[in-house]
Amino acid sequence: MVLQKEFINNSLLAIGERPYMQDTLVSNSQKAAYQCFVEAVSTMTHAYEWSFLQSSAVPTVRVNNVVTVPKFQRILSVKYVRTLLTNLYLQDLVQFDSLTTVGSSRYFVVNADNEILLYPIPTTLSSITVYFIKEFILTPYSSFSLLGFPIKFESVLKKLLNSMLCKQLLDDLESYNAFMQEYTKETNRMFMKDRESVVGKPNMFRLL
């Protein structure tokens, strides 16, 4: 797996810059390049519901009807044993706040990016399974920080980073647009390929 600094340096070379990323972020140029990298990772991981971001978890912390799960972009579905829970929204809570008894959960509400509310309160957390698109968390920058992306997605991310570096560091809109066109084509192609790789495989991620 590639190191973060190596990945950024490869993009710097691709746009005609010298590879100035080192083990620590000291200069303004290094910090600016790293910020472009962070933005590129965030943009790509939020572009589609990539298969490598699909995850599931059994909550481990509960306070009354509030359960904590790993940080997510979006909840896809929640199961109580084998039953799918109905997704409510905050405006519906008034009529369901009375469902604070303990029993078989029938409803859930997204409360934060790592919390959901369950109605009624489940008898045990082991009965709950949450399916979600997880938030991609970068390892803090250091001499040994890995990119953490599946290898097959690295080329897509590189095209996006190239475009951002051209715009934000070089103010080169022509190169920015050229790299963005490549990124858009590659992203669409990769997304279709990513979807094809899971077609026919039954799972809870495609229920909602």
Domain positions in the chain = 4-51+138-202, 53-134
pLDDT greater than 50 at residue 202: no
Instruction: Check residue 34 and give its pLDDT.
Output: 98
Cα–Cα distance, 7 to 36 (Å, whole number): 12
Instruction: Check residue 208 and give its pLDDT.
Output: 42
pLDDT greater than 90 at residue 197: no
**Phi and psi torsions of 62, nearest 5°:** -140, 135
Three-class secondary structure of residue 85 per DSSP: coil
Instruction: Check residue 93 and give its pLDDT.
Output: 59
CA distances to 1, 71, 131, 170 from 41, rounded to whole Å, are 16, 16, 22, 20
Cα–Cα distance, 134 to 116 (Å, whole number): 14
Instruction: Check residue 91 and give its pLDDT.
Output: 54
Ranking 91-100, 103-112, 139-148, 152-161 by mean pLDDT, the lowest is 91-100
CA distances to 3, 12, 167, 192 from 134, rounded to whole Å, are 22, 29, 29, 20
Q: What is the pLDDT of residues 126-149, one digit of tens each?
A: 889 999 999 999 999 999 999 998
| Alpha carbon 131 to its chain's center | 13
